[in-house]
Amino acid sequence: MTKRILVVEDNDLNRKLFCDVLQAGGFAVEPVADGNEAIERARAFFPNLVVMDIQLQDVSGLDLIATLKSDTDLASVPVLAVTAYAGKGDEERIRDSGAEGYLSKPVSIGPFMAAVKGLVDAAEDTTPAH
């Protein structure tokens, strides 16, 4: 069965790049430009992974991760946080919010796909079938 990935990224070019690369890798992708729609779209799409930009225009990616992790239906969905702000302590803060993976921008395709596959495969071992 095709794995589903929700891509929450407000930058059009980054969102398109992530979606194109993921689709080329055989994933079904749901792009979300507006962070305020991310939780609602996640509930409708029920992804196997969420790729989450941390610096969204209208809402904090950290807050969205915390919301996902507190939702009973979505808590088990792994999150790959992607951010341009990779300062000291940022990765720890992001992981503390509940993200299972972390990449700093600019993202290279190889490490991005490796992180995606690693998180999807790890989740496959623990996610109940829907």
Give the SS3 label for residue 29: strand
**Mean pLDDT value across the chain:** 93
Q: Is residue 129 part of a domain?
A: no
For residue 49, which amino acid is it? Answer: L
The CA distance from 91 to 21, in Å, is: 24
Q: Which range marks the domain in which residue 92 is found?
A: 4-122
Q: Which residue has the tokens 């792009």?
A: 31
Q: Reply yes or no on whether the pLDDT at 125 is more than 90.
A: no
pLDDT at 126: 61
Q: Is residue 128 part of a domain?
A: no
pLDDT at 5: 98
For the entire predicted model, the pTM comes to: 0.93
Averaged pLDDT for residues 55-84: 95
pLDDT at 87: 78
Q: Looking at 39-43, 90-94, 107-111, 126-130, which range is the least confident one? A: 126-130
CATH for 111 = 3.40.50.2300
Percent pLDDT > 90 in the chain is 85
pLDDT at 51: 98
Q: Reply yes or no on whether the pLDDT at 64 is more than 90.
A: yes
Q: Is residue 65 part of a domain?
A: yes
Tally the domains of the chain: 1
Q: Is residue 127 part of a domain?
A: no
Backbone phi, psi, residue 126, to 5°? -120, -15
* pLDDT tens-place string over residues 75-104: 999 999 999 877 788 889 999 999 999 999
The CA distance from 78 to 98, in Å, is: 9
